[in-house]
Structure 1
């Protein structure tokens, strides 16, 4: 999946001259936490976040009355509080690369540029939605996992067992098991109606299935 497939394209933006007070109203009304700042022609100049506005509020509120605070915030503009050196993405960037950038830089969103113009934005909420979609989470499915060694053909073996049992895999994901070199988790999700049958099928095929949280993983480790 690529950023361009998941980014929001109907953007709410501000200009450097937009007041901090107005920006706060815009973000509250539309329930957003990031407001790209443009030149009015899709040229990205910066970004302002909910945290930026809270800090502007707090610093002004320490010495001013409510009336004075309102007046100051109406005069204070986005240019005074926005981040100018913005980390961005492109539509053809992979979702996992965007997630890595967001995590490494501890930010909440990436404005998306194409040919130097702002065309979208992707946020941590969008990335969480991708994760849930990849995991196949829905009310009519259930999940279980297998611990396997990193070897060629193990996914094909699981798929063959499911196919022979006429069970459709709704989603499948592989992740390394932290702290156990060479051991991977296979996370599978099937329709709730065939959940027990899927577990039994894999157990008969030689796999040890984890269907609930356990602290000790030793009994579920794959045999050599």
Structure 2
């Protein structure tokens, strides 16, 4: 095992099973936290709830108001708990193999101590790993795109059916922006009105940054951390869309054996000074 050179564990953000979905949306948007732990009054974890869980429930809940829906109705009960000594590479392996949105860190008595999400592991990569991977090795190729005039309902349906966190918005091959689960969460109260013809160009996040496929993956991880985004469109030298790199891709890169060897060499090098 390797020394945990930086903390990957963040303070837990907790909601109760009988909190309302409206309360959950407010916490997610105000504190900019994409995933929350659901726990009882003794801080024992019962489940988790993500932006996508919230959006999926809202999309199919009919005429119900957000303040009338309990967190317990939308949460996921299949959680993964780990202890506080978990190493970053081990956490990455678990997340990728189990397709886990977060890991809940618990004490020996089962109480919540913290949580780990993919952004934390991407930050770890950004801080320590350099010169090992190119963006092209880990980006998701042929990303799903939508036209700027697609409706909000169409976009929400694609995101939920494809189980993805973002779509790239284009117009005649030009990248205009992205629409993400975070963007949709701000519009949560209107998502149930599927007949509204709001166009994606009116609610998307304009693309501030794109990246060349030959860049170091470390640069992508740093940009994500600095810009507080979870995905960056990847283009060729002539501006053609080639893919998208996300925090999930960064976590996947951490499972590469080359990273383990790199960290061992780094540890040996720094211990000689």
What is the TM-score of this pair, normalised by structure 1?
A: 0.55
Cα distance in 2 between the residues matched to 1:21 and 1:59: 16
Q: How much is the aligned-residue C-alpha RMSD, in angstroms?
A: 3.1
Aligned residues: 138
- CA distance 1:24–1:3, change in 2 (3 Å): farther
Residues 135 and 4 of structure 1: CA distance in aligned 2, closer, same or farther (over 3 Å): closer
Deviation sequence 1:96-139 (CA, Å, 0-9, x none) = 111001111222211111121100001111101111111269xx
CA shift, 1:3, in A, is: 9.9
In structure 2, stretches of 5+ residues that fail to align are 132-215, 217-255, 267-273
Residues 1-224 of structure 1 mapped to structure 2, 5 A cutoff: 1-2=3-4, 5-9=7-11, 11-60=12-61, 63-64=62-63, 69=64, 71=65, 73-115=66-108, 116-135=110-129, 175=258
Deviation of the 1:88 alpha carbon = 1.6
Regions of 4+ moved over 6 Å: none
How far residue 22 of structure 1 moved from its aligned partner, in angstroms, is: 1.0
Q: Are the structure 2 counterparts of residues 43 and 107 from structure 1 closer, same or farther at C-alpha, using a change threshold of 3 Å?
A: same
Pair member with larger Rg: 1
Q: Secondary structure at the match of 1:6?
A: coil
Asked if the contact 1:17/1:79 (under 8 Å) is kept, the reply is yes
Q: TM-score, normalised by structure 2?
A: 0.45
Equivalent position SS for 2:94:
helix
Superposition deviation, residue 5 in structure 1: 3.2
5+ residue gaps, structure 1, are 138-142, 144-172, 177-183, 190-224
Q: Which has the higher contact order (CA 8 A, sep 6+)?
A: 2
The Cα of 1:185 is off from its aligned counterpart by: 9.0
Give the direction of change, closer, same or farther, for the CA distance of 1:56–1:94 in structure 2 (3 Å limit). Answer: same
**SS of the counterpart of 1:58?**
helix
